[in-house]
Amino acid sequence: MTQKDVVANQAAYRSSSASISEEFLVDGRTQTYTLVHMNLELSSLTQRQREALSFIREQVAEAGRPPTVREICGRFQYRSPRAGKLLLDALERKGY
């Protein structure tokens, strides 16, 4: 998905989305992450995609950053980083 596609998707859901900005202390510096929640149906996700989305949200809340592809692979017992990347790509295509 290109940046242009992401912007188009965000514009399409702007009327039904809300953003939350949170600040985290990372390595002695304050970092701000803006989480955009789009009112998309979770039913459009597979069980594994819902689990991955939940894992990503937990990691952001606990560690102040999203998990790396390797951390995602470890959580879901994938042998190849490519499998983790494909999971992230599917979530991105669906607007998450």
pLDDT of residue 44: 83
pLDDT tops 90 at residue 9 = no
Write out the DSSP string of 19-80. EEEEEEEETTEEEEEEEEEE---GGGS-HHHHHHHHHHHHHHHHHSSPPPHHHHHHHTT-SS
d(C-alpha 17, C-alpha 39), whole Å? 6
Q: Which of 10-14, 50-54, 92-96 has the highest mean pLDDT?
A: 50-54
pLDDT in tens, 41-54: 566 899 999 999 99
Looking at the structure, give the CATH architecture of the domain made up of residues 3-93.
Orthogonal Bundle (1.10)
pLDDT band for position 69 (cuts 50, 70, 90) = very high
This prediction has a pTM of 0.57
What is the pLDDT at residue 92?
Answer: 92
Q: Are 39 and 16 in contact (CB under 8 A)?
A: yes
